[in-house]
């Protein structure tokens, strides 16, 4: 084997991120020391990022089955049958570490990666959502990150030609040293034309397609599996650069080639690049692969086998074609001006054999590479867990003026309008977007059918921090509620689990609890999890981020015309509040904005009530009884009503009685699950009442729309009485003010 | 009337135009590959939006040299209709089928948002069905839409009534605040002197169905379809 | 043969990007800055028999594609070596 | 005092712009082209007592803002006159 390469020792293995136990396992299974190239394969494929070493034992708890599920976790993306012969394919991915190092390219390549996950399944991407978390925007470094990330997403998504239709941007100091960039993508494909990342058929040719391989991103997977420290700068040269134009060509060429029937299987070269594809694809099919690295198109000279296998250059795919149809494949890729080079064959015997010209540089069983050790590390709740929960927010003083408090909350960066970001994204290409960014969920029609899809991403790190299990369940409930408010029946879910280091017992505990919460919510709400992503090691110098599971829920509207948006449409509509009374200031946006506290208990979550409330909202929308529906999330009922008033094109005032008595801050700004504001035309009020009675949920009329003021009462006392214009200005300018 | 929708590597509004022409207007339409020079069967060629060749040098620069755009010169000379929207407008300017050039938005950011357009010329094939001063609503979606022309060409354009659309307020006033990209004199769309080549930054295909938020974009097509009827009888339809 | 092409906005055309960079630098305390303009540098390597011939062909590239004469000027410079000399990394 | 800053992608970093322009020029028949890279030129005019001082300050601007150290290298050149010499208009 290659003489110039370092001799592999335990110390060297440690440097690449493997443990002594793992190294032992490798030498005993191989019966020898691995070569330098083989060591590279193990270090990448057994990294946390690729192998889910610390999370696999927990992920098995998530419910993944359902009548509509065409593809659950384990492939490039999940797929759900939406009727009329169509399937929706979707997945969410994180690109947190690369985005911190180079915000523009990190976020851009994050978009590129998730797009490829979707079109390798045979689906044409129709929508992107971006879920972002940053530190305090009053900090210049954070603004630089926000700017870079948003413009990177904008550049890649716009140039590629997929609309960005939703997402969230939230701020908390815990993300200052480790921002989150999670991107979700949805695509459409005929249900019987799904492709998978398989290497079937011994003797079939293996093609490399797309951009040439350079030294970029080598050890990206390992980087995503380490925390940041003062040496982060030294890891910088591993940054990859995105090329959305080539990606667009790759999309068109792949879909065209797939349509010919000449493609057997296909996988995106994402984390751990060629190494990952050449081992995972045959491992899924019980085959092997024999590839000649010398044939891999290269951008740089003198690349070693190690570098070629581990490069994370973007916009590349590995595909297995049907033998005898090589010419067809070459012709289609040539039409799109792309490299398509046959680099090897599918083999029997279950081994990955990598050569450089004549010389074998790696020869390892693929099942072994694909089967990293699983860990069950110790876990324990954080020491101050009970103490934080014991805090009673009602020991804090009430605001001096509730109108001012509401206006401050509406203008706080997390709640204020994110138009500054969304207007930098194309939102309409493809002519599917029926509801643009700005409502509870985006709605996309499915052309050629009467149907539409609704989609939303949600996740509240403060709530998960205070109570991982309930907080994570609430994230599922909220994402599903957003979809239901738009009129969609939630049918599938993807998640992105952003946590600190799993090697710390309290972080692993947060993770395990969060998974339990998600699993429980999914079971009761009957939403299968069809894909997801785990991003550990989100910490800088020992300071972990808030534990942040981001949940993406996709729903189906059978009749695209029966949909709802969150803003009030006119005067004199009656306003109802659906759902339970109970709310809490624990972990609320208000508690942070007004008091800079992160403590307290979350409101209870009754998933059975949640399910019924969502069913009732959907029924109201489908019956055409609701002119607006909006769930209560950050900022509580007061913010939900204020958003109903000011987030539409024309502001519409509102007058409502939010509680019979008690502390007004709790009634106005307390947060709790399963609560939805619905506006109903006066003539439809009887019909609505009848529907609610059937639904067996708690609900009540609380007010009326109209006028140019927002008036909120507790009992008979008008605690808020402000001009809607003023609220609108605060909300529209609240975020942009920071970015100007 | 037969339409052709040009596809460059990196084009993305091609499918949207195709959809609107075939599914909303029910007119015959085919895709035209960028290497294709044969336009003989077409009455109107659409240059759609997107990022042709990634727009990596200047928006529309590389596409402006493509075989299909070369073939357009003759097609236009013979009176064929050409509509370039967004990247298509940029390509028409790069190919000198229209005067001027499009530069990076003054805000230095991409902009996707609804705009109002004041109609200033109703003599073109694409605007015959409109009223002078009428206000249309259509979205924009671009990073390089700031129109520029030197003073002399601008004077000539005005003399020949080549400015077709300007960004305006909802009530038709042409104001600085209504200008989304810093465009010279709020110019959003222009036509060649002969009136058969229209370039505009907004996306008419995104304003062709009520469900998509409006139908003002259809008016351009309906004007064009009517143009084929010599007496303009479509206006009475 | 190596030729360096500098493409810059014509005088009189507002350089918005340059102005933004200038503002940002002023904000960082570079008060001595009086002007700043941003353009493109395109470094071309080509086979040519003579430097004159190389210059001629690159000029042709500029006229056909690299610069838009409505907005931009260009200058050509012959360079021995386009590898960043004394580059700071 | 006038200083010209050339900002280029570091060797090894994919130059998507350069690759696309190169392909386009090849398509236009410039077969002699062997390599092409695209970068930025930033022309800075500033008050400084000496050329050394000017160079020092512009270097500082590069480190703080003009170049992205993760992706780009930069070189500084002193120029007498930044008006495009021999510019083609
Ligand atoms: N980064 C973003 N990109 C696109 N749209 C966004 C982004 N952030 C927020 N939005 C949109 O703004 C609206 C409000 O966001 P948010 O307050 O997070 O909603 P919710 O409370 O319903 O979760 C949603 O329609 C969302 O899709
Ligand atoms: Mg919501």
Residues of B in contact with A561 (CB under 8 A): 211
Residue A4's pLDDT is what? 64
Alpha carbon distance A701, C89 (integer Å): 65
In angstroms, the separation between the Cα of residue B37 and the nearest Cα of chain A is 16
Report CB contact under 8 Å: C45, D38. Answer: no
Average pLDDT for runs of 10 along chain C of length 89:
95 93 94 95 95 95 96 90 44
Query: Are the C-beta atoms of residues B200 and B187 closer than 8 Å to each other?
Result: no
Place of tokens 């005019």: D45
Tally of helices (H runs) and strands (E runs) in chain C: 2, 3
Residues of C in contact with B61 (CB under 8 A): 65, 68
pTM, full prediction: 0.93
Residues of B in contact with A429 (CB under 8 A): 12-13, 16, 49, 141
Picking from C8, C25, C44, the nearest residue to D36 by CB comes out as C44
Up-side HSE of residue A547: CA atoms within 13 Å toward CB?
Answer: 26
CA A246 vs. chain centroid, Å, equals 24
Residue A222's pLDDT is what? 56
Residues 11-70 of D with CB under 8 A from B: 16-17, 20-21, 24, 27-28, 38
Band (B5; pLDDT cuts 50, 70, 90): very high
Atom 14 of ligand 1, residue of closest alpha carbon: A438
Instruction: Report helix, strand or coil for A223.
Output: helix
Residues A470-481 pLDDT 10s? 999 999 999 999
Max CA-CA distance within chain B? 46
Alpha carbon distance A41, A279 (integer Å): 9
Q: Has A49 been annotated as catalytic?
A: yes
Residue A220's pLDDT is what? 59
pLDDT at A281 over 70: yes
Instruction: Report helix, strand or coil for A179.
Output: coil
Q: Which residues of chain D have pLDDT under 50?
A: 81-89
Residue B235's pLDDT is what? 44
The angle formed by the CA atoms of residues B10, B15 and B18, to the nearest 5 degrees, is 130
Residues A71-109 pLDDT 10s? 999 899 999 999 999 999 999 999 999 999 999 999 999
How far is CA A71 from each of CA A91, A674, D31, rounded to the nearest angstrom?
Answer: 11, 29, 48
Instruction: Report helix, strand or coil for D73.
Output: strand
Place of tokens 């694809």: A281
Query: Are the C-beta atoms of residues B48 and B88 closer than 8 Å to each other?
Result: yes
Beta strands in A105-190 (DSSP E): 124-134, 164-171, 180-190
Query: Are the C-beta atoms of residues B96 and B104 closer than 8 Å to each other?
Result: no
The verdict on domain B3-236 having CATH code 3.40.50.880 is yes
Q: What is the ipTM of this complex?
A: 0.92
Residue in A103, A168, A182 to alter for ligand 1 test, most ligand atoms within 8 A of Cβ: A168
Alpha carbon distance B214, A531 (integer Å): 36
CA Rg, chain C, in Å?
A: 16
Structure-derived torsion over alpha carbons of residues A401, A404, A405, A409, reported in degrees to the nearest 10: 180
Give, for B15, the enclosing helix (H) or strand (E): helix B14-19
Neighbours of chain B (3+ CB pairs under 8 A): A, C, D
pLDDT at A305 over 60: yes
Instruction: Report how far ligand 2's centroid is from the alpha carbon of A633 (Å).
Output: 6
Alpha carbon distance D67, A729 (integer Å): 37
pLDDT at A330 over 90: yes
Instruction: Write out the two tokens for A389.
Output: 């929960």
Alpha carbon distance A427, B218 (integer Å): 20
Q: Which atom of ligand 1 is nearest to the CA of A168?
A: 8
Tabulate helix, strand, coil % of chain A (nearest 5): 40, 25, 35
Alpha carbon distance A19, A444 (integer Å): 47
pLDDT at A162 over 70: yes
Nearest to A354 by CA among A247, A277, A260, A455: A277
Q: Has B203 been annotated as catalytic?
A: yes
pLDDT at A59 over 70: yes
A40 touches ligand 1 (CB under 6 Å): no
Residue bearing the bigger pLDDT, A307 or A620: A620
Domains of chain C as residue ranges with CATH: 2-81 (3.30.1280.10)
Q: Which atom of ligand 1 is nearest to the CA of A440?
A: 22
The angle formed by the CA atoms of residues A186, A191 and A197, to the nearest 5 degrees, is 70
Instruction: Write out the two tokens for B66.
Output: 């493509």
Burial of A19 (0-12, 13-18, 19+ CB in 10 A): middle
Give, for A662, the enclosing helix (H) or strand (E): none
Residue bearing the bigger pLDDT, A625 or A222: A625
Q: Which atom of ligand 1 is nearest to the CA of A164?
A: 4
Instruction: Report domain extents, chain B.
Output: 3-236
- Number of residue pairs across A and B with CB atoms under 8 Å? 80
Structure-derived torsion over alpha carbons of residues A516, A521, A522, A523, reported in degrees to the nearest 10: 90
Picking from B58, B65, B104, the nearest residue to C16 by CB comes out as B104
Band (B229; pLDDT cuts 50, 70, 90): low
pLDDT at A241 over 60: yes
* Beta-strand pair B81-85/B197-200: parallel
A587 touches ligand 1 (CB under 6 Å): no
Q: Which atom of ligand 1 is nearest to the CA of A150?
A: 1
Residues of A in contact with B206 (CB under 8 A): 428, 431
pLDDT at A36 over 80: yes
Beta bridge partners of C46: D33
Picking from D20, D28, D38, the nearest residue to B53 by CB comes out as D20
Sign of the alpha-carbon dihedral angle for A481, A487, A488, A490: positive
In angstroms, the separation between the Cα of residue A313 and the nearest Cα of chain D is 9
Query: Are the C-beta atoms of residues A532 and A552 closer than 8 Å to each other?
Result: no
Nearest to D5 by CA among B112, A226, B110, C88: C88
Instruction: Write out the two tokens for A421.
Output: 């970001």
| Other Cβ atoms within 10 Å of A451 Cβ, number | 19
pLDDT at A215 over 50: yes
Band (A225; pLDDT cuts 50, 70, 90): low
Instruction: Write out the two tokens for B32.
Output: 């035209």
Place of tokens 């949805």: A186
Burial of A320 (0-12, 13-18, 19+ CB in 10 A): buried
* Beta-strand pair B111-119/B163-168: antiparallel
Name the percent of chain B lying above pLDDT 90.
94
């Amino acid at each position: 084997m290659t003489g110039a390469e370092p001799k592999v020792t335990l110390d060297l293995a440690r440097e690449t991120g493997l443990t002594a136990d793992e190294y032992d396992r490798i030498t005993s299974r191989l019966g020898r020391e691995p070569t330098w190239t083989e060591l590279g394969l193990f270090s990448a494929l057994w990294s946390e990022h690729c192998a889910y070493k610390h999370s696999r034992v927990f992920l098995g708890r998530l419910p993944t089955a359902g009548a509509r599920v065409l593809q659950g976790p384990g492939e490039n993306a999940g797929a759900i049958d939406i009727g009329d012969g169509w399937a929706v394919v979707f997945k969410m991915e994180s690109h947190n570490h690369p985005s911190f190092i180079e915000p523009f390219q990190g976020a851009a390549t994050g978009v590129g990666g998730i797009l490829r996950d979707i079109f390798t399944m045979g689906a044409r991407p129709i929508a992107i959502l971006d879920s972002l978390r940053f530190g305090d925007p009053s900090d210049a470094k954070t603004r630089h990150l926000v700017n870079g990330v948003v413009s990177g997403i904008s550049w890649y998504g716009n140039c590629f030609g997929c609309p960005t239709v939703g997402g969230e941007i939230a701020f908390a100091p815990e993300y200052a040293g480790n921002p989150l960039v999670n991107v979700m993508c949805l695509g459409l494909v005929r249900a019987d034309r799904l492709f998978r990342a398989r290497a079937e058929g011994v003797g079939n040719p293996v093609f490399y397609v797309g951009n040439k391989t350079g030294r970029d991103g080598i050890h990206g997977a390992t980087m995503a599996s380490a925390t940041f420290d003062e040496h982060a700068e030294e890891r910088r040269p591993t940054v990859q650069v995105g090329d959305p134009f080539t990606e667009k060509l790759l999309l068109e060429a792949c879909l065209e080639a797939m349509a010919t029937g000449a493609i057997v299987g296909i996988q995106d070269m994402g984390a751990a690049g060629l190494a990952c594809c050449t081992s995972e694809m045959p491992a899924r099919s019980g085959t092997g692969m024999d590839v000649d690295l010398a044939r891999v198109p290269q951008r740089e000279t003198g690349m070693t086998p190690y570098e070629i296998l581990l490069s994370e250059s973007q916009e590349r795919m590995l595909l297995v074609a049907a033998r005898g149809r090589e010419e067809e494949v070459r012709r289609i890729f040539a039409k799109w001006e792309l490299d398509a080079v046959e680099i090897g064959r599918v083999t029997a015997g279950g081994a990955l054999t990598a050569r450089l010209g004549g010389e074998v540089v790696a020869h390892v069983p693929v099942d072994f590479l694909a089967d990293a050790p699983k860990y069950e590390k110790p876990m324990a709740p954080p020491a101050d867990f009970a103490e934080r929960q014991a805090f009673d927010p009602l020991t804090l003083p009430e605001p001096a003026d509730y109108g001012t408090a509401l206006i401050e909350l509406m203008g706080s960066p997390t709640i204020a309008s994110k138009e500054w970001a969304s207007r930098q994204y194309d939102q309409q290409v493809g002519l599917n977007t029926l509801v643009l960014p700005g409502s509870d969920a985006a709605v996309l029609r499915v052309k050629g059918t009467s149907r539409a899809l609704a989609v939303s991403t949600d996740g509240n790190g403060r709530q998960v921090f205070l109570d991982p299990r309930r907080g994570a369940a609430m994230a599922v409930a909220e994402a599903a509620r957003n979809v239901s408010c738009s009129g969609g029946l939630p049918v599938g879910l993807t998640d992105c689990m952003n946590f600190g280091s799993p090697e710390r017992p309290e972080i692993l505990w947060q993770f395990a609890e969060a998974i339990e919460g998600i699993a429980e919510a999914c079971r009761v709400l009957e939403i299968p999890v069809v894909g997801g992503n785990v991003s550990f090691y989100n910490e800088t110098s020992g300071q972990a981020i808030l534990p942040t599971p981001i949940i993406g829920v996709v729903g189906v509207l059978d009749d695209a015309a029966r949909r709802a948006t969150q803003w009030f449409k006119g005067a004199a509509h009656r306003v109802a509040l659906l759902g339970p009374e109970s709310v809490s200031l624990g972990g609320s946006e208000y508690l942070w904005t007004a008091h800079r506290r992160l403590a307290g208990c979350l409101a209870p979550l009754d998933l059975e009530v949640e399910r019924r409330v969502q069913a009732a909202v959907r029924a109201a929308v489908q019956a055409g009884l609701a002119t607006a529906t909006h769930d209560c999330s950050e900022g509580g009922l007061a913010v939900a009503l204020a958003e109903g008033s000011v987030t539409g094109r024309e502001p519409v005032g509102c007058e409502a009685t939010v509680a019979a008595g008690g502390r007004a801050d709790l009634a106005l700004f307390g947060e709790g699950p399963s609560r939805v504001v619905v506006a109903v035309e006066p003539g439809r009020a009887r019909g609505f009442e009848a529907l609610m009675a059937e639904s067996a949920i708690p609900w009540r009329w609380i007010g009326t729309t109209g006028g140019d003021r927002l008036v909120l009462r507790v009992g008979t006392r008008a605690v808020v009485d402000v001009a809607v214009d003023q609220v609108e200005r605060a909300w529209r300018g609240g975020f942009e003010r920071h970015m100007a | 009337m037969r339409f052709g929708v040009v596809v460059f590597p990196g084009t993305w509004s091609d499918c949207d135009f195709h959809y609107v022409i075939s599914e909303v207007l029910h007119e015959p339409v085919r895709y035209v590959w960028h290497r294709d020079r044969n336009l003989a069967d077409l009455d109107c060629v659409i240059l759609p939006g997107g990022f042709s060749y990634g727009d990596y040098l200047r928006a529309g620069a590389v596409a402006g040299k493509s075989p299909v755009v070369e073939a357009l010169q003759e097609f236009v000379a013979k009176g064929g209709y050409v509509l370039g929207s967004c990247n298509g407008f940029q390509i028409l300017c790069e190919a000198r089928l229209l005067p001027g050039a499009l530069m990076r938005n003054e805000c230095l950011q991409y902009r996707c948002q609804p705009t109002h357009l004041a109609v200033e010329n109703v003599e073109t094939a694409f605007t015959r069905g409109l009223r002078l001063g009428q206000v249309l609503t259509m979205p924009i979606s671009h990073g390089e839409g700031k129109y520029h022309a030197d003073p002399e060409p601008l004077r000539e354009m005005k003399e020949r009534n080549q400015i077709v659309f300007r960004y305006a307020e909802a009530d038709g006033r042409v104001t600085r605040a209504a200008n989304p990209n810093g465009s010279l004199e709020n110019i959003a769309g222009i036509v060649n002197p002969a009136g058969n080549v229209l370039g505009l930054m907004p996306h008419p295909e995104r304003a062709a169905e009520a469900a998509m938020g409006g139908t003002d974009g259809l008016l351009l097509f309906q004007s064009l379809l009517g143009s084929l009827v010599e007496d303009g009888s479509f206006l009475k339809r | 043969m190596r030729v360096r092409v500098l493409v810059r906005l014509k005088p009189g055309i507002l350089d918005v990007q340059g102005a933004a960079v200038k503002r940002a630098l002023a904000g960082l305390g570079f008060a001595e800055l009086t002007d700043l303009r941003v353009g493109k540098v395109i470094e071309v390597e080509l086979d040519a028999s003579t430097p004159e011939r190389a210059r001629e062909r690159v000029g042709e590239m500029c006229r056909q594609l690299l610069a838009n004469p409505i907005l931009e000027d260009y200058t050509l410079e012959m360079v021995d070596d386009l590898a960043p000399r004394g580059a700071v990394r």
